[in-house]
Structures are given as structure tokens and as C-alpha cells.
Structure 1
Amino acid sequence: MTDTNNRDIAVLGAGMHPWGKWGRNFVEYGLVAARAALADAGLNHRDVGYIAGADTIRNGYPGFVSGATFAQALGWSGAQISSSYAACASGAQAIANARAQILAGLCEVALVVGADTTPKGFFQPVGGERRDDPDWLRFHLLGATNPIYFALYARRRMALHGATLDDFAAVKVKNSRHGLNNPNARYRKEVSVEEISASAIVSDPLRLLDICATSDGGAAVVLTSMDYARRHGIADPVRISALSTVTPTFPKTVLDLPDFSTDSAVAVEPPSRTFRSAIAHAAYEEAGLGPEDLSLAEVYDLSTALELDWYEDIGLCETGAAESLLRSGATTLGGRIPVNPSGGLACFGEAIPAQAISQICELTWQLRGRAEGRQVDNARAGIAVNQGLFGHGSAIIATR
């Protein structure tokens, strides 16, 4: 059923529900995205043998069993299902489940869906008074909401590498330009350095426009075996060539709230790679590619400062050189390695279970040459990366 000498799988369909604050049930967004992906693949939901749902923990029981929720919404068809939660890497874990089923020969067609409806304001712990929950503890004992640890990363970058507020603002300016022509983006408006500097301080040094919003949205992809794609007349589909969800290695050296108290860097020599760079390296190794082979990257820009960290973590430049890479224009459309041509989270905001899947939608459209208004020239390979808390993270490499 599958090519045993190759672990590639095909991406036959990609679909999204536009990001925004729509205030409707998350299932509606996922259903729109799933139907769009199926239509893109030229398939019916009854052709799908496996449905992998990426979970949302803020939408009640249906969010926790999203595979079944989306299967029911599409119409029960007897497909096998799974539901995955891995914080910001939830979508990648769902893709990993589907990929494993295909490569094991247990199905030929899989549908991966993620969608979310988010509350107003920044994310907060769920589940009420859970005093043994590290997420609850960091909020209540430290006051460390998510923007605070974004700011800690930013301060670290300023202290170690000389990053400036203008560098952070330049990331937002770039991504806002990229997102202008993306019909699925929530924010489609150019912003200036002056507007960013004038926006409210959320957690110094980060301003409101340095930090991504929380959003509603949905994304879906249809994955198949390479044999299935060829039998259906698609000789050269976009393919997923590597997927990494590796965990950190001892010792951890970068403060990663909320588990900073277990950091052992003060006691032993640091590892050769940070957690985020290890995720990317494992994907490069599996794909047989390196950073120099990439045409584009979709990175998890929770803040403008964090995007700069990702440049180094995925090997686009040496440690401490991200600001120079940005200033050179290399990471903008038309540059050597465009980063976040979709507009990134700066233009979308977080819809947690959908975002890793939405990145694969963007890579798919770019590699097909169909990302109208934001197309990367001659795109042949792209990477999508995410990091969640508690050791969750992902890197996916798509090729053509």
C-alpha cells in the first residue's frame, strides 16, 4: 500500500476557515475547513479511513474528543478516529497520528482537523482552582501570564544579542505586509514602527502589537499514501517528508515557564542544542535536508521577539545573528528565505489546535505555487515549527 523505501506521504487537500472573533461553535469552523480540504482533494468524507482531531480544551467535552466531534459533524462513516492534545503542537500530533496510520498501511486516506473558539483576552488556566497544576501556579503565585514569559525571552535576547525594540517592530511590519493578501488572516492591515511603538505596553519590553492575539479559526488537511496519490493521477503531490515531535534532553538550559524550577543548567554542562533547535534538527535529519535547502519557513511567532529566536533555532543563521538576517531583508518575501509568508500569528492570532495544521496548509499552497499575492518564488521545500509547554513541540518539513 505504501512505498516501504520512503516515509513520504502526500498532501492532497488543504482548507481553512478564516481566523477572527466570530463567536460561534468551534465545530462549525472545523467543518468548513474539512469540507474545503476534501473538495481540494476531490474526495468525499466517505473516502476517508481515518479522522485525526486536534483537541481544544476550552470548548467542553466535544473539544476533548475532537476526532469524534468532527466525524459526527461530517456524518458518521465508519472511519477510525483519534483525538490529540499537545498544547500548541496539537495539530502536528494529529498529523503524526494520521501519518503513522498511512505509513503502517492501516489506511490510505486520512483527514486531520483542528479548530478553536477562544475567549476574549489572553489565555488563562482551565479547570478552576487546581492548585497542584503548574499552569495555575505560575499564574497565581508568579503572575506569569503568557505575555510575561514572552517578555522574558525578549529581555534575554536584548541582553545577549543586542536586539532592540526597532528589531522587534520590524518583525511585525514584515509579517503585516505578508498577511495583507491572505484571505484567511484576521488582521490584513500594514502597521508601522511608529504604530507599534505607540501601542500599549503589555509586558515590558513588548507592546500590544508585538504579541499575537487569541482567535477563532479552523484548518484541515487531507493526507494519503503516495501510491494512492499516483493512482488518482497526482504524480508529484506536495508531500510531508519529515515530522518531529522530540522532547527536550537533559539538561534544559533555556527558561521555559512554568517548569523553570526544574532547570538544571546551573548544575551540569548545557546540551549542544536548545529544545527548539533539537526539534528542527530531527526533522532535517529525517528529510535528508538542511536549512540551506529551505524555500520558506512558517514559525510560531507568539511574539515578535520569539520569531527572531526561531531564525537561529531552525538554522537560518548563527546564534546572535537573527537581527542581522532580518535587517538584510532575507526573511521577507523576495528575500533568500521568507519567514511567515502567511503573515504568521501576527496576522492570524492563536487558534491553538488549528495553527500547526494551518501552517501545513500554507506550505501546501506555497509549494503548489498557489499562494496568490504572497507567493515565494520557486518554492520547493518548507518547514513549519511550533512549541508548546511541558516538552511539546513540532517541526514538519513539506517538499515538492
Structure 2
Amino acid sequence: MSRDVAVLGAGMHPWGKWGRGFVEYGLAAARAALADAGIAWPDVQYVAGAGTIRNGYPGFIAGATFAQALGWSGARVSSSYAACASGAQAIGSARAQILAGLCDVALVVGADAAPKGFFRPVGGDRPDDPDWLRFRLLGATNPLYFALYARRRMAVHGATPDDFAAVKVKNARHGLANPNARYRKEVTPADVRESAVVADPLRLLDICATSDGGAALVLTSMDFARRHGVTDPVRVSALSTVTPTFPKTVLDLPDFATDSALTAAEPGRPFRSAIADAAYEEAGIGPDDLSLAEVYDLSTALELDWYEDIGLCEPGGAEELLRSGATALGGRIPVNPSGGLASFGEAIPAQAIAQLCELTWQLRGQAGGRQVEDARTGIAVTQGLFGHGSAVIAIR
């Protein structure tokens, strides 16, 4: 049985700091996706919302919130929260409904209005919350984790701060051509080197910002797409949200935030690789079949880890792959042609949905000045909280 679903519509609200409610961003993205698909809102049978816990009760029930904003229509709804992988789980919920034959047309929406500065634990003093514990007991903000990863790359693989800066320079150049990006400005290596130190060796321009933004998709069955006159749609061929396998057999870590779940039963095999491998297996392809990749570049150093985790090169080969120009537009395997988080900042529940929007536009040949030549297959990957990573493969 085919596991493909069609992506008929993609829409976004530009990223930035707009000072308005997240529902407004999601509503704009949803209407853009519906218009792109040529679908009327009453034709949507299922709404999958990606949740945001930083925007009050409406954020927890995002599916119903967006359905209400669009106008009650009787559509079924669901809401998913998995931190940075929330959007991918919402896509997965909609895809499952379609493949089960429970609906033909689904709308997936994610949006966020993020606070200024680095993310903090939600809900005040909560000693049962691992985020609260690591902030209060360890003083370990997210940038500290990013810096520890960067230090590891430097020690194990010989990465340099210049390599990290080169990732930012590349992604900023890609983002110049993206009208939805928050930052559309050329960046030089000197700009990165001279920006403020946040967590050594990472500087301010090595770390993504927090942003407002929204993204939406219209997913349908393949039969519906054909009836709608779309004979060759972009297809979601695989979606993986696997959990770690016996994660504490390599390192016995306390459950302090995201990275506690990244160990795996096989030494030297990061959990992120398992996410990508599960998607490759489901789609029946491998890394060599990819035309492009959208990866979750929370920091410049983390993008280099992703090159290896999704199989673009062998462990330790990311720096050479970057230096060769292979991951830039015009190279063998462009990574983050959208501009990535370096150009967007992070709007948590919208991000994985936005990645699939980018794959959709690339595979349709609609990406304008950031278009990857002859794009046919793409992967989008995220890293969420406690094993809620995700990988989505789109093919045309």
C-alpha cells in the first residue's frame, strides 16, 4: 500500500518580531496554504494544530484554536506538542488520518509568538520539570548545550570557529532570496567573529534567534489530488518520529532537557541518525538520492553534526563537505536553501511545517533566487524535546 500523501498547498506568515498574537500568524499561513491549494476552508475535513505552550490555553489546543479562527465548520481536530518537532507530529497526525481513509483533505497549522531572548522554562517554579531543573541547578541554558556540542566537534573532528562562521555566512546568503525570512542581510566571517560571545566558542551570530511566525500545509490523499486536477504533486513519502533505543546504555545522564535523550544503544551512533534512517527506510531511498536538505540549525556547529547524522558524509567529514561548497546553493547537496534558523529564528511549532513548505516550493521549482536545480527529493529534520526528533521526506 502506498504511504504517500499529496502536498497541495503551502503557506507562511513571514518570520520576525511582530508583537501580535500567534493565532493571527497561523490564520494568515492557513489562508495562504488554502489559496495555494485551490481549496475552500469548508472542504477541509481535518485540522492538525502544532501546539505552543508559551501562548496560554489556546496554544495547548492549537487545532481547535485555528479551526475556530477560520470559522467552525465541523472539521475534526487534533493538537500535538513535541517542542521543536511539534509541527512534524501534526503533519504525522494529518497523514495518518488520510492514509487510514478517515479524511481526504487536512490542514496542518503551526504558529508562535516567542518571547524575547533565550527560552526559559514555562510556568514558574516547577521542580518536576527537567527544563526548570537544568536552568536552576545547572545554569544550563540552550546555548550552553550548543556550545558543548561545538566544543566536542572541535576536540573530536578538528572543527574551528571559522567553520562555524562559514555555516552562518552560507545560510545568510541563502536567506537573502527568501521573502519569509526575518534576516535578509549578507554576513561576513568577520561579522560572526566580532559578534558577542554567548557561550564559548559560539558567538551571537552562531546561535538562532527567537521569532514570531506561522506556517501551514494542505495535505490530501493522492486520489483527491488527481480529482482536483493535480497529477504530479509533491508527496510526503516518509515521516519519522522515532524514540531512542535504550538511550542510557552509553551514558547514564539525568533527564535534563533535550540532549539527555540523544545517546543510543550503538556506540558512536547518535539518536538523530536513527530518526533519518527510519525515514529513508520508509521512503525506500538513501542519502545519495537527496537533492536538498533542511536541517534544524539551532547553532552553526549543530548544522555540521546534521550533515553526518543524515548521511551526507562520514563522521568527521562535515567540515570538508562544508569547505568544498557542496552544501551551498549550486553545490552537490544544498543544505538549508531557505536560509535555515540562521535567517528565520525559531518559531517552535511552525518550524517543521515551514521546512516542508520549503521542500514543497523547491520540488515544484517555485523557490525563486534560492532554487535548487532539478530538485526531486528532499529531507527535513528537527530535534525536539526528550526524543521528539523528526524527519520528513518529500518527493516529486
TM superposition score category, shorter chain reference: over 0.9
Letter in 1 for 2:350: A
Contact 1:249 1:271 survives alignment (8 Å): no
* Offset at residue 270 of structure 1 (A): 3.6
Contact 2:381 2:392 survives alignment (8 Å): yes
User: Aligned to 1:131, what secondary structure does the other structure show?
Assistant: coil
1:188-217 Cα distance to aligned partner (Å, 9 max, x none): 001000010000000000000000000000
* Offset at residue 250 of structure 1 (A): 1.4
* Offset at residue 330 of structure 1 (A): 0.2
Contact 2:294 2:380 survives alignment (8 Å): yes
Structure 1 position 73 matched with structure 2 position 73: no
Residue aligning to 1:240: 236
Please point out which of 356, 369, 375 is paired with 1:373: 369
RMSD: 1.6
Residue aligning to 1:59: 55
Alignment of 1:341-360 (within 5 A): 341-360=337-356
Q: Distance in 2 between matches of 1:271 and 1:164?
A: 25
For normalisation by structure 1, the TM-score amounts to: 0.96
Residue aligning to 1:10: 6
Please point out which of 167, 170, 193 is paired with 1:171: 167
Name the % identity: 80
Q: List alignment gaps of at least 5 residues for structure 2.
A: none
Runs of 4+ in 1 over 6 A off after TM superposition: 254-257, 260-265
1:2-31 Cα distance to aligned partner (Å, 9 max, x none): xxx200000000000000000100000000
Letter in 2 for 1:221: L
Contact 1:147 1:211 survives alignment (8 Å): yes
Residue aligning to 1:396: 392
Contact 1:241 1:398 survives alignment (8 Å): yes
Structure 1 position 325 matched with structure 2 position 324: no
Q: Distance in 2 between matches of 1:185 and 1:177?
A: 11
Q: Distance in 2 between matches of 1:166 and 1:63?
A: 39
Q: Distance in 2 between matches of 1:273 and 1:299?
A: 18
Contact 2:260 2:386 survives alignment (8 Å): no
* Offset at residue 251 of structure 1 (A): 3.4
Residue aligning to 1:283: 279
Residue aligning to 1:295: 291
Change in Cα spacing, 1:87 to 1:260, as seen in structure 2 (3 Å) is: closer
Q: Distance in 2 between matches of 1:312 and 1:202?
A: 25
* Offset at residue 329 of structure 1 (A): 0.3
Residue aligning to 1:99: 95
User: Aligned to 2:10, what secondary structure does the other structure show?
Assistant: strand
User: Aligned to 1:83, what secondary structure does the other structure show?
Assistant: strand
1:20-61 Cα distance to aligned partner (Å, 9 max, x none): 000100000000000000000001110000000000000000
User: Aligned to 1:111, what secondary structure does the other structure show?
Assistant: strand
Alignment of 1:20-169 (within 5 A): 20-169=16-165
Change in Cα spacing, 1:231 to 1:87, as seen in structure 2 (3 Å) is: same
Change in Cα spacing, 1:207 to 1:330, as seen in structure 2 (3 Å) is: same
Letter in 2 for 1:258: F
* Offset at residue 131 of structure 1 (A): 1.1
Letter in 1 for 2:256: P
User: Aligned to 1:373, what secondary structure does the other structure show?
Assistant: helix
Residue aligning to 1:313: 309
Change in Cα spacing, 1:260 to 1:364, as seen in structure 2 (3 Å) is: closer
Letter in 1 for 2:361: W
1:156-203 Cα distance to aligned partner (Å, 9 max, x none): 111100000000000000000000010000000010000100000000
